């Protein structure tokens, strides 16, 4: 969470908008001004050269035409106290889509790992293009916008039709040869960077080259803007942090280079089109992961986007849910990309405007609760921005193998009704529970791993496999761990076997949870095995869920399944919910971590934020069914009746029963409705 929450604030709505210079300009500006007044938009971020009307890399004269139109709108907007910012739709360019360079544009085009060359996306190291883009940014700055946002094509991946992205062009290979002091080929670089197993030394050097390339470009863009308009700020739009990790991105350095001392970031917030409600677990985890990476004090304005627009693409319900979630986690603003790029204006979907008017008081009320530094409570999902430097590839064929699955637990815990937050290993404190999935453990030092295993930790199958490969089997209760797959083994179902822990004989699917691989492990004798995995003939295959206390005094909970960033619905059911929640309480035992556990309902995502004098708990119903009451447990809470936030922005006493305390936990039954794809926001007094 960002720390600059000292002022009470209303919702800062930032509309991303296309004003085509030659398309009913006056009428569009009039309409835009009225829309801002009606809906309370505080800032308009104008697209330049975007999507359908993108014409490759514009000349200075062509750019002036866009800026003339925007300047006209800027004047009108300033009269109603609405700021003007710019969103040039691209730097390098998102994708080709048939666009080509102009004849005199002697730019190095982007090349992918397999040698395919773009027709219009450029290499960020190309000196000719850098000269050009700096002049273009100076021109943007000349109209003195509040912020110039660098769009999220400011990255190496995702420049279709290139495979993965770039850039592996001759300039890049030449630079890398200089670093190495000998000549290399693109093929050799790709092969060695992706080499299976322990990373080849080229991995670090190449990812550093990637990072330095964008960082130096960011510095040049910053200086270009500041040389013309010192008051203009520069913001960064970004994508999935897992993907940026495979670009060697050092967030602090890149953001400082681009934004200077006042960082502004628009984190990615997909999906752009209507999603099945449980999918929002993944989307919200991605948003929280990104925010956790940003330097303290960053101005955060998450992306709300409905491309390709209107309610044919995304409903008011889901758009509104996203805005509410952004407000609850303490965003400073929200960027709204709600209307098309073809000059049709804001009237094509009147329901979005109505939504902004209707939701305003509610969002303002949520935002104004962030009146001091808040701290998110929940299982701490551990991530490392440098994970791609250390992860171990298996095939060594594609750049995607450098992605780690750090959000595996986040997505699945929230589906099971467990609150979480992201943390680095450095920020993890002794009274918190940690969860680790995927291969990120390879990026931790042995000392960090021991710190982790002295505490209380939840591990997925991949994390267990990686830790035992690194020689930590003894500290996680595992003697041996090997992958099983369905070509060679039958693993049908999982059955609860420890009647003292929870009801014996309950069964869950194993084969659907693990279509690719399941970890077969031999556990140490002092592990407490909660479930076993069996074949259809009821022959035991391996252990399932287990608990272990190690010799460092740490506690470990393990499962044999691999949890990825993508939601795996087969993992979820009421038995799993109860099993995992009981394990978390066993991990927590004598400490009070403040996690929230929602009982017996699917897909209620809980968010708990502790402030100096109050605790806010948001419960998001990510299903299509309404709920008429909700039961949850949490620790470190004064057993008092909460207030509930009404849609008009007022607080009233909630119909709630504080049930007897169970150990360190308070059980609360709130007898209020939560509508489908909606939420309940509660406020408690602090103990």
CB-based burial, 410-428: b 16+ in 10 Å, e otherwise: bbbbbbbbbbbbbbebeeb
The whole-angstrom separation of Cα 531 and Cα 546 is 7
Tell me the angle at which helices 408-415 and 280-293 cross, rounded to the nearest 10 degrees. 130
Footprint of Zn ion on 163-182 (CB under 5 A) = 167, 169, 171-172
Binding mask 484-503 for Zn ion (x = CB under 5 A): --------------------
Give the tokens for residue 69: 């139109």
Nearest distance from residue 140's CB to Zn ion, in Å? 24
Q: Are 222 and 91 in contact (CB under 8 A)?
A: no
- Interface with Zn ion includes 157 (CB under 5 A)? no
Structure tokens at 468: 């035992």
Closer of 48 and 123 to Zn ion (Cβ)? 123
Nearer to Zn ion by Cβ, of 157 and 172: the residue is 172
What is the footprint of Zn ion within residues 115-134 (CB under 5 A)? 123
Q: How far is the CB of 108 from Zn ion (least distance, A)?
A: 6
Q: Does 217 bind Zn ion (CB under 5 A)?
A: no
Nearer to Zn ion, 92 or 519 (CB): 92
CB of 124 to Zn ion, least distance (A): 7
Distance of closest approach, residue 172 Cβ to Zn ion, in angstroms: 4
Question: Minimum Å distance from CB 93 to Zn ion?
Answer: 13
Tell whether residue 70 is a contact of Zn ion (CB under 5 A): no
Query: For Zn ion, which is the closer residue by CB, 248 or 353?
Result: 248
Q: Is 654 in the site for Zn ion (CB under 5 A)?
A: no
Residue 124 or 385: the one with the smaller Cβ distance to Zn ion is 124
Tell me, rounded to whole angstroms, the distance of Cα 501 from its chain centroid. 35
| CA triple 21-158-156, angle to 5 deg | 100
- Min separation Cβ 400 and Zn ion, Å: 20
CA trace torsion 131, 133, 135, 139 (10° rounding): 180
With a CB cutoff of 8 Å and minimum separation 6, the contacts of 566 are 282, 411
Question: Does 189 participate in binding Zn ion (rule CB under 5 A)?
Answer: no
Is the CB of residue 196 less than 8 Å from the CB of residue 396?
Answer: yes
Would you give the distance in Å from CA 575 to the centre of its chain? 28
What are the backbone angles phi and psi of residue 664, rounded to the nearest 5°? Answer: -85, -5
- Give 167 or 366: the residue with its C-beta nearer to Zn ion: 167
Comparing C-alpha atoms, which of 50, 69, 225 is closest to residue 147? 225
- Nearest CB to Zn ion, comparing residues 10 and 101: 101
380 binds Zn ion (CB under 5 A): no
How many residues of this chain interact with Zn ion, rule: CB under 5 A? Answer: 5
* Closest distance of CB 169 from Zn ion, Å: 3
Q: Rounded to the nearest whole angstrom, what is the least distance from the CB of residue 171 to Zn ion in the complex?
A: 5
Give kind and range of the element (H or E) at residue 44: strand 41-48
Closer Cβ to Zn ion, 168 or 403, answer by number: 168
Beta carbons of 333 and 43 less than 8 angstroms apart: yes
Nearest approach, Cβ of residue 214 and Zn ion (Å): 11
Distance CA 405, CA 439 (A): 7
Should residue 162 be labelled a site residue for Zn ion when binding is judged by CB under 5 A? no
**Which of residues 129 and 501 has its CB atom nearest to Zn ion in the complex?**
129
3-state secondary structure at position 9: coil
Give me the residues that bind Zn ion (CB under 5 A), please. 123, 167, 169, 171-172
């Amino acid at each position: 969470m960002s720390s600059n929450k000292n002022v009470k604030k209303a919702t800062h709505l930032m509309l991303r908008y296309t004003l085509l210079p030659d398309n009913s300009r006056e009428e569009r500006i009039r309409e835009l001004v009225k829309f801002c007044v009606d809906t309370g938009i505080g800032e308009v971020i104008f697209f330049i050269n975007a999507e359908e009307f993108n014409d490759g890399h514009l000349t200075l004269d062509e750019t002036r035409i866009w800026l003339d139109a925007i300047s006209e709108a800027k004047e009108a907007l300033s009269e109603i106290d609405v700021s003007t910012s710019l969103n040039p739709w691209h730097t390098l360019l998102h994708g080709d889509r048939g666009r080509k360079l102009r004849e005199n544009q002697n730019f190095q085009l982007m090349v992918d790992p397999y040698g395919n060359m773009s027709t219009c996306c450029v290499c960020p190291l190309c000196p000719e293009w850098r000269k050009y883009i700096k002049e273009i940014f100076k021109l943007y700055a000349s109209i003195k916008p509040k912020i110039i946002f660098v769009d999220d094509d400011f990255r190496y991946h995702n420049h279709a039709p290139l495979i993965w992205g770039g850039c592996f062009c001759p300039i890049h290979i030449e630079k890398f040869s200089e670093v190495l002091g000998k000549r290399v080929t693109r093929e050799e670089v790709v092969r060695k960077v992706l080499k299976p197993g322990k990373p080849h030394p080229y991995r670090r050097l190449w990812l550093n080259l990637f990072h330095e390339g964008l960082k130096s470009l960011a510095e040049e863009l910053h200086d270009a803007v500041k040389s013309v308009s010192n008051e203009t700020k520069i913001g960064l739009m970004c994508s999935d942090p897992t993907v940026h990790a495979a670009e060697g991105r050092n967030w602090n350095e890149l953001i400082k280079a681009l934004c200077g001392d006042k960082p502004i970031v628009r984190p990615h917030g997909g999906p752009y089109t209507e999603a099945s409600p449980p999918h929002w677990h993944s989307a919200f985890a991605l948003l929280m992961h990104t925010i956790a990476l940003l330097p303290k004090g960053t101005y955060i304005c998450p992306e709300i986007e409905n491309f390709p627009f209107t309610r044919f693409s995304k409903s008011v319900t889901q758009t509104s849910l996203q805005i509410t979630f952004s407000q609850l986690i303490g965003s400073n603003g929200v960027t709204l990309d709600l209307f098309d790029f073809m000059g049709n204006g804001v009237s094509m979907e009147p329901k979005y405007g109505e939504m902004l008017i209707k939701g305003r008081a509610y969002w303002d009320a949520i935002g104004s609760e962030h009146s001091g530094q808040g701290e998110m409570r929940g299982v701490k999902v551990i991530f490392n921005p440098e994970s791609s430097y250390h992860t171990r590839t298996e095939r060594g064929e594609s750049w995607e193998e450098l992605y780690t699955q750090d959000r595996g637990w986040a997505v699945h815990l929230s589906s099971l009704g467990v609150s979480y937050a992201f943390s680095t290993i450095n920020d993890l404190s002794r009274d918190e529970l940690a969860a680790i999935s995927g291969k990120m453990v390879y990026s931790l030092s042995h000392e960090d791993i021991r710190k982790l295993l002295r505490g209380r930790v939840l591990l997925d199958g991949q994390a267990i496999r990686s830790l035992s490969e690194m020689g930590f089997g003894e500290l996680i209760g595992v003697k041996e761990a090997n992958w099983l797959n369905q070509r060679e083994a039958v693993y049908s179902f999982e059955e609860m076997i420890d009647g003292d822990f929870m009801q014996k004989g309950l069964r869950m699917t194993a084969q659907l949870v693990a279509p690719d691989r399941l970890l077969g492990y031999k556990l140490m004798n002092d592990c407490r095995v909660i479930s076993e995995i069996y074949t259809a003939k009821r022959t035991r295959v391996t252990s399932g869920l287990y608990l272990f206390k190690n010799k460092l005094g740490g506690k470990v909970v393990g499962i044999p399944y691999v949890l990825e960033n993508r939601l795996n619905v087969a993992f979820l059911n009421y038995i799993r919910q109860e099993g995992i929640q009981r394990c978390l309480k066993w991990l927590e035992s004598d400490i009070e971590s403040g996690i929230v556990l929602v009982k017996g309902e699917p897909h209620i995502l809980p968010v708990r934020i502790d402030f100096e004098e109050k605790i806010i708990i948001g419960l998001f119903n990510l299903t299509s069914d309404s709920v008429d009451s909700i039961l949850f447990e949490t620790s470190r809470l004064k057993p008092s009746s909460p207030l509930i936030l009404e849609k008009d922005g007022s607080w009233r006493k909630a119909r709630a029963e504080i049930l007897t305390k169970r150990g360190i936990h308070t059980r609360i039954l709130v007898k209020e409705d939560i509508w489908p794809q909606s939420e309940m926001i509660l406020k408690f007094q602090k103990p």
